[in-house]
Structure 1
Amino acid sequence: MRKNQKNEPKRKADTFLHTVKEPMELLPFLLQTMAKSSRNSVKSILTRGQVTVNGKMVTQHNYPLQPGHTVAILTNQAALKESVLDGIEILHEDDDIIVITKDSGILSVAAKDQHEMTAYKQLKEYVKESNPYNKVFVVHRLDKDTSGIMLFAKSEDIKKKLQENWQEVVKERLYTTLVEGNVKKDQGKISSWLTESKTFKVYSSQVDNGGQHAITHYKKIRSNKNFTLLEVELETGRKNQIRVHMEELGHPVVGDKKYGSTVSPIKRLGLHATALALVHPRTGELMRFHSAAPQNFSTKLK
């Protein structure tokens, strides 16, 4: 493998890092380090806020640089992610899949209001920016008020491979859940059959009533007399599974009025998809993605 030459920039993810060797103004420095780019494109990158000096965004053309300063240039593709995506962030992207983390309040797919920007619509627009023929396909969903990790496919073939082999492909699905009350057991398992009513509410039964069998594992992280923070792992992935099982446990997810909650201390649903581990549908590589739960999940336990 060729060794990195002294005058070559270091690269960190989607950012090129340059160390200033001698005093000069920022624009001339960028024109020098980005010699293959036109003057206008370099000025545009600077104007769009894609340049930082020692971690601080700078748009001033004549900003004075000194030896030892670190100049970071965000690539156009990375800047595009930041500019067109609202309420979602891309954790991983390759030729086959896109893994994102979404905020609470963002719909995964369908919306009654056709103008509402769902996670799917935003990714659809994003992939078309590089090629108008590119597409994105929904693999699974999160409730609107649930935040965290979602997986999308970039072809119908990959979507089918993922969905048809979901139990074999997905090795781990973890959620961080804030529930009402003090859960006494340190860990437990909930197994039941779930059926959905005509009013779209899911009900749990301890006997097989023809519904979908659902298994949820939970582990206590910490608690006080009012709330408990749980790590929840899905053995099956049914609609509203965690929400229904937490109600059955007697400790509904906070903010979940539909399934028994009477309080909303964090002004949202206390449910976050924290980790997803899967076997890549093309390469066979085991990949694990993590999205930290919102900080306010923990503040209620202090």
Structure 2
Amino acid sequence: MINKRTRNIGIFLVICGATLWGVGGTVAQKLFQDYGIDVDWLVSTRLLLAGVLLLIIQSMKKTSSQVINILKNKKVVIQLLVFGLFGMLAVQYTYMASINLGNAAVATLLQYLAPVMIIIYLLLRKQTILTKQDVITTSLALVGCLFLLTNGSFSQLSVPAPAIVWGVLSGVALAFYTLYAIPLLKQYDSLVIVGWAMIIGGLALSFIHPPWNIAYLSVEAIMYLFFVVVFGTMLAFWFYIESLQYLSAKETSVLGSLEPLSAVLTTVFWLREPFGMYQWIGTACIIGMVLILSMKKKAMEEK
């Protein structure tokens, strides 16, 4: 059983991670639009740099031996390769591709079909039962995302079809990422898992667009890139994956819906894109969902 104290730690981690992830998406949108940064280059660069930083941090801990020892287990190495390619890289690339073709707000909203996918998957596998809270929180997430995306009218949905496809795929990737990480976390520290997964994903994409193959970047662009790598990638993924040790996969994924909220707010107030009344209603739905989960006093079992 997960007690109240450890559960609160999990809630704090996933809220911070999701918020940084959302803001990082908005900053990435600015890099795409204002500085002409290539999607492949940004994804490979941010994964490699963030992965190396995470492993450096891990090497300073008492469990530093895990950084190398994890590579001595062939079964775990295979699991890492799967997680790095179909979890880490898939989440990063589909998300960034959706941002590039649409915008950060839409990309993050579509990505958060993941909670529904996870709940359906667990129900089909008979690993959980559908509870009243599942229905309420998932409904709030879906209604909130619908209003944020459409502003109350399907005729106003002007996002290009490729952006929607990449966004839905990012939801599938996030669901897989969330569930697949749990067994690995039972054996090794989250920094080791996330760090190596990022390096694996970054190296794979480097064959398509090497990080060193980039034109001149201004000081401002470098600052934005630093934020995306350190805050929007390294810390965001670390906090998110770490929260799985304190919360169920369902709860972590639904609480992670703060990502679209932070993406929308930064898109509106920083990039100054228009925001309608129904979109604010959608924001309220997401906040309500988070409050319901945060104020729940009863401990939950890890599914």
TM-score under structure 2 normalisation?
0.21
Q: RCO (CA 8 Å, sep 6+): is it higher in 1 or 2?
A: 2
**Going by fraction, where is strand more abundant, 1 or 2?**
1
TM-score under structure 1 normalisation?
0.21
